Amino acid sequence: MYDYMLGGKDNLGVDRAAIDQLTRHIPEAVPIAKANRAFLQRAVRQLAAAGIRQFLDLGSGLPTQGNVHEIVREASPDAKVVYVDHDPVVAAHARALLEEEGRVVFLQADLLRPTELLAAPEVTGFLDLSEPVAVLLVSILHFVQDAGDPAGMVKILRDALAPGSYLVLTHAVATIGREQAEESAKDVYRGSSTGGATGRTEAEIRAFFGDFELVEPGLVQVSDWRPDHPEILRDEALPGYLLAGVGRKMAK
Ligand SMILES: C[S@@+](CC[C@H](N)C(=O)[O-])C[C@H]1O[C@@H](n2cnc3c(N)ncnc32)[C@H](O)[C@@H]1O
């Protein structure tokens, strides 16, 4: 479904029908998906330029253009990227298209089990968690219901990271007055492999960062996070349905 919104070719009729249903209620869904992907790329580019050499991309999705390892490589050819997704279709595509000996690995795992995920050989044999890592949770936590304890799950990840590590996150916002649109989104995603979508308040989204320090400009509407072309984006400003932020783990 996300691939279809990004203009990709790896999607089925059922994905396209679901997104067509979604956009009838939320016409901004496609530009928001594109803004989400552009944010991920800006954040990764800036972290790589700032010297981060290890990336853990959770809920990485189908390979598309401008994948994390391709962006990272512009700044650092020897950087390492671990992609993680639980979807078997994503796994098949990602293994074929993304994996590169010694630099890029794919792990099929459920991020609801972070302790298991962090102990997987694809992670322990590849990343050095005593050094800074950027963990990406981009457009993924709203697919985790409260019953799955997303806050507890993200805390386990934060605690496992070394000072100087980063958390990169986008999350759908629960918006007052948009209940019908949200119900429609819930319906569409309930029928997907994710099982449903949950918008959260700004305070709930901020809490995912724990004691990590949000870098400038803080938690903002996704296309307002360090835009490449602010003058263009101002004309196309999207409503604040998706918040984005990057937090840094400080030394104790
Ligand atoms: C909207 S895509 C986001 C892709 C990418 N992070 C981005 O923002 O461009 C969400 C991805 O999260 C994956 N996902 C959803 N729930 C998951 C879970 N519990 N464990 C691992 N992956 C999950 C889905 O399979 C899907 O590929």
**Nearest partner of 155 among 209, 112, 200, 213, judged by Cα:** 209
Name the residue at shortest CA distance from atom 4 of ligand 1: 61
User: Does the C-beta of 36 come closer than 6 Å to ligand 1?
Assistant: yes
The ligand 1 atom at the shortest distance from the C-alpha of residue 87 is 25
Mean pLDDT (the chain) is 88
Domains located in the chain, CATH noted: 30-248 (3.40.50.150)
Residues above pLDDT 70, as percent of the chain: 87
Q: Is the pLDDT of residue 180 over 50?
A: yes
Structure tokens at 4: 């279809």
Q: Of the given ranges (143-152, 162-171, 235-244), which has the lowest mean pLDDT?
A: 235-244
**Kind and range of the H or E run holding 180:** helix 179-190
* 173: three-class secondary structure by DSSP: strand
- The per-residue pLDDT for 48 is 96
Please work out whether the CB of residue 139 comes within 6 Å of at least one atom of ligand 1. yes
pLDDT at 238 over 70: no
Tell how strand 166-172 and strand 54-58 pair up.
unpaired
Q: Give residue 189's pLDDT.
A: 65
Distance between Cα 59 and ligand 1 center (Å) = 3
Task: Inform me whether the pLDDT recorded for 230 exceeds 70.
Answer: no
Q: Per-residue pLDDT tens for 29-66? A: 888 888 999 999 999 999 999 999 999 999 999 887 78
Axis crossing angle, helix 29-49 with helix 68-75, rounded to the nearest 10: 30
Residue 47: what pLDDT? 97
Is pLDDT above 90 for 166? yes
Ligand 1 atom nearest to 170, measured from its CA: 8
Residue 235: what pLDDT? 45
| Predicted TM-score of the model (pTM) | 0.90
> Residue 179 has what pLDDT?
64
Say how many Å lie between the CA of residue 144 and the centre of ligand 1: 10
Give the position, in ligand 1's atom list, of the atom nearest the Cα of 37: 9
